[in-house]
Amino acid sequence: QVQPVESGGGLVQAGGSLRLSCEHNARMRAISGMGWYRQAPGKHRDLVARITTDGTTYYGDSVRGRFTISRDRNTLYLQMTSLKPEDTAVYYCNVKITPTVERTYDYWGQGTQVTVSS
């Protein structure tokens, strides 16, 4: 089973940077997509960025131009720059695998807290 584990969160001042990492054990050929989501207290989980199997990236409007998603074999990254207080949230790594044409599974990490102070 895929077990994503996030790391790299912390407390930073507005304008600062953080790099989040997500280690996972999924086979590259089984991955259909990966992404980062975030959830602030009392709010729903929002898509931050995703990367497709061909390397195409997508960014949410609120982070475009400030965040960069990338990956290697067993790690998904999110480089965050120019952080704002509204970026404060728990950030979750998502790995989607499609082992068969009939099955698709989403795996989530435990989340890592990012807090941006003003």
How buried is residue 2: exposed, middle or buried, by Cβ count under 10 Å (0-12/13-18/19+)?
middle
Provide the pLDDT for residue 93: 97
Calpha distance 1→29 (Å, rounded): 14
Calpha distance 118→116 (Å, rounded): 7
Give the chain's mean pLDDT. Answer: 95
**C-alpha closest to that of 3 among 52, 53, 74:** 74
pLDDT (tens digit, 9 = 90+) per residue, 56-83?
Answer: 999 999 999 999 999 998 999 999 999 9
Q: What is the CA radius of gyration of the chain?
A: 14
